[in-house]
Amino acid sequence: MAALDDLPPLREVIAAHGLAARRSLGQNFLLDLNLTRRIARAAGSLHDHTIIEIGPGPGGLTRALLLEGAAHVVAIERDERCLPALEQISAAAPGRLTIIPGDALAVDMAALVSGPARIAANLPYNVATPLLVRWLETEPWPPFFASMTLMFQREVAERIAAPSGGKAFGRLAVLSQWRTEPEILFDIAPRAFVPAPKVTSSVVHFTPRAQPLPCDTQALERVTQAAFGQRRKMLRSSLQSLKLDTAALLDAAGIDPTERAERLDIADFCRLARLLP
Ligand code: SAM
């Protein structure tokens, strides 16, 4: 049985298992172990956590997480072609890798872990945002994970971390920053992937806030959907889709009705959400 260090290079693994990348599964593989180890280290302490990884593919980040000392990795992969390659890694790290075949969107991740956990993934771009929203909407909060370290297309990373007042500030920024402190750590150039995507990627680290401002998730969603659904309009117009007395709502929240959504901050949105019936 090979040790982790002795596993064949990922290029060979991909060739041996016929893992031609499929666009429909958002497959862009990272083959450089120095890079995947850098992402693994960015996740924080690993030896005392279970790491949930979405989309391990041929296992570049999975290997890195194990080599960097992760106590246990639970990896959810939809593409059955990748499973034999992942089994090889599991054999090289006995008892430290659990492979879960299937769609990550259909898995109850909280039920997979009993102790401290982190999430780390090079996410498939086609399900990256739905997965992130699901994690951010986890109940109860603080969630079952101590952090999330996730790779996105840079444009999505910028929307997550956008400050109030800018063009990128929208629903994703409000939800992300309400419940976590997101930080863009570093970029990864297209050439690092096989096949190379068209755009640059960014690694974002999310630290859950212990005590986010009190606010109901669904109410916050309703408010941000209305406000940013017509982001160029003044709030007195855009919020009319809530079918409430908009003037009274804005007055009660102490918000100028002629403001636009992107000029509000997280506390403003939470105040509005708390005032919804
Ligand atoms: N982690 C690998 C790496 O860094 O090289 C692969 C990353 S690739 C961007 C995304 C991976 O997610 C692919 O292996 C793909 O098969 C898998 N995937 C796509 N949709 C998925 C889903 N709904 N649930 C679980 N895995 C999925």
Instruction: Find the CATH number of the domain harbouring 236.
Output: 1.10.8.100
Phi-psi category of residue 254: left, alpha or beta, with phi > 0 → left and psi -120 to 50 → alpha: left
Structural domain boundaries enclosing 262: 217-275
Count of the separate structural domains present in the chain = 2
Give the residue, out of 54, 103, 188, with the most ligand 1 atoms within 8 A of its beta carbon, to mutate for a pocket test: 54
Atom of ligand 1 at shortest range from CA of 124: 10
Task: Tell me: do 224 and 271 sit in the same domain.
Answer: yes
Residues 6 or more apart in contact with residue 147 via CB below 8 angstroms:
43, 44, 118, 119, 205, 206, 207, 208
For the chain, 277 residues long, give each residue's pLDDT as a single digit of tens: 679 999 999 999 999 999 999 999 999 999 999 999 999 999 999 999 999 999 999 999 999 999 999 999 999 999 999 999 999 999 999 999 999 999 999 999 999 999 999 999 999 999 999 999 999 999 999 999 999 999 999 999 999 999 999 999 999 999 999 999 999 999 999 999 999 999 999 999 999 999 999 999 999 999 999 999 998 999 999 999 999 999 999 999 999 999 999 999 999 999 999 999 9
Interval between CA 125 and ligand 1 midpoint (Å): 9
Task: Tell me: do 76 and 32 sit in the same domain.
Answer: yes
Interval between CA 164 and ligand 1 midpoint (Å): 32
Among 208, 242, 262, identify where a domain stops. Answer: 208
* CATH number for 93: 3.40.50.150
Task: Tell me: do 45 and 158 sit in the same domain.
Answer: yes
Task: Tell me: do 251 and 188 sit in the same domain.
Answer: no
Among 208, 234, 261, identify where a domain stops. Answer: 208
Task: Tell me: do 51 and 72 sit in the same domain.
Answer: yes
